[in-house]
């Protein structure tokens, strides 16, 4: 979902609930590392500045020096699993050895993309098993409402708007797009593996909400949108 801003722009970033960036690298020293839920929370130091960052759950040793890629700064973010509110926190990608430079939604996507370079891979039919595609007009709503009322929206068509946070094209015959509506983020899968959406763009997406889906290979979701059709708004 966002355009490049450096750490030096922190005062500007904190004037809103969030600000966006495109893979701005930060070399940081890890002062504290906490695994909780789907994330690893890191207290880091960069050029004398200390702040918190969150990456996809990964073992990180204290005192190690790592490079993380900036995705989005958030203000007053509450971690339910930690029962802690961060005044400010950077959500970032930690490129793992061997897949650096791959823009992933999940690190496993990078592994799949790397493998695809070595062999021809057909879309895995597991992604399409047990997927319900609804009929009828979509319900206009937002991501927070969907998460709060999963049973209401299960197997229903919805229309939501938000900004693109992450994009993974050509992943097992799909494009995976994570969008953010100001409060929550959710992934919508498009059957078009060449979906033309870019990080930072505001989009409208129509698709079917599936809940408690486990495709295997680490792809498990409390809520996910499938058969997404995207329209770039600006």
Q: In this prediction, what percent of the chain has a pLDDT beyond 70? A: 71
94 vs 97: CA distance, rounded Å: 9
What is the rounded (10 degree) CA torsion for 234, 171, 69, 188? 50
| pLDDT computed for residue 52 by the predictor | 96
CA 153 to chain centre: 21
> What is the distance in angstroms between the CA of the first residue and the CA of the last residue of the chain?
12
DSSP code of 119?
A: S
225 vs 204: CA distance, rounded Å: 13
* Range 126-135, long-range pairs (CB < 8 A, 24+ positions): 126/215, 126/216, 126/217, 127/172, 127/173, 127/174, 127/189, 127/215, 127/219, 129/215, 130/213, 131/208, 131/210, 131/213, 131/226, 131/227, 132/208, 132/210, 133/208, 133/226, 133/227, 134/208
For 210-225, the pLDDT digits (tens) are: 888 776 655 677 888 9
Phi then psi for 34, rounded to 5 degrees?
A: -130, 120
Whether 42 and 53 have beta carbons less than 8 Å apart is answered as yes
Q: Determine the average pLDDT of the residues in 24-34.
A: 91
180 vs 184: CA distance, rounded Å: 6
| pLDDT computed for residue 9 by the predictor | 33
**CA-based nearest residue to 171, from 138, 154, 193:** 193
- Whole-number average pLDDT of the chain: 75
For 178-213, the pLDDT digits (tens) are: 888 877 888 998 988 889 898 888 999 999 998 887
Tokens 């020293």 correspond to 29
64 vs 221: CA distance, rounded Å: 31
Q: Which is more confident, 67 or 136?
A: 67
Question: pTM for the complete prediction?
Answer: 0.51
At residue 76 the predicted structure's pLDDT band, cuts being 50, 70 and 90, is confident
Domains, the chain, ordered by start: 7-93 (2.40.50), 123-232 (2.40.50.140)
What lies within 8 Å, CB to CB, of 149 at 6+ separation is none
For 98-124, the pLDDT digits (tens) are: 333 333 444 433 344 444 444 444 445
């Amino acid at each position: 979902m966002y355009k490049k801003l450096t750490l030096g722009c922190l005062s500007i970033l904190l004037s809103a609930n969030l600000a966006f960036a495109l893979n701005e690298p930060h070399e940081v020293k890890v002062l504290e590392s906490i695994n909780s839920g789907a994330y690893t929370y890191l207290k880091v130091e960069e050029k004398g500045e200390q702040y918190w960052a969150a990456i996809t759950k990964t073992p990180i040793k204290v005192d190690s020096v790592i490079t993380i890629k900036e995705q989005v700064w958030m203000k007053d973010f509450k971690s339910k699993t930690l029962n802690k509110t961060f005044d400010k926190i950077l959500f970032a990608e930690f490129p793992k050895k061997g897949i650096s430079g791959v823009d992933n939604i999940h690190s496993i996507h990078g592994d799949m993309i790397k493998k695809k370079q070595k062999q021809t891979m057909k879309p895995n039919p597991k992604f399409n098993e047990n997927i319900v595609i609804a009929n009828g007009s979509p319900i206009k709503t937002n991501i927070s409402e969907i998460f709060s009322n999963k049973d209401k929206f299960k197997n229903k068509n919805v229309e939501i708007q938000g900004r693109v946070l992450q994009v993974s094209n050509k992943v097992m015959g799909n494009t995976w797009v994570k969008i953010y509506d100001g409060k929550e983020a959710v992934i919508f899968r498009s059957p078009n593996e060449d979906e033309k959406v870019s990080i930072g763009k505001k989009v409208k997406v129509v698709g079917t909400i599936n809940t408690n889906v486990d495709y295997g290979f680490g792809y498990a979701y409390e809520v996910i949108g499938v058969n997404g059709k995207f329209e770039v708004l600006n």
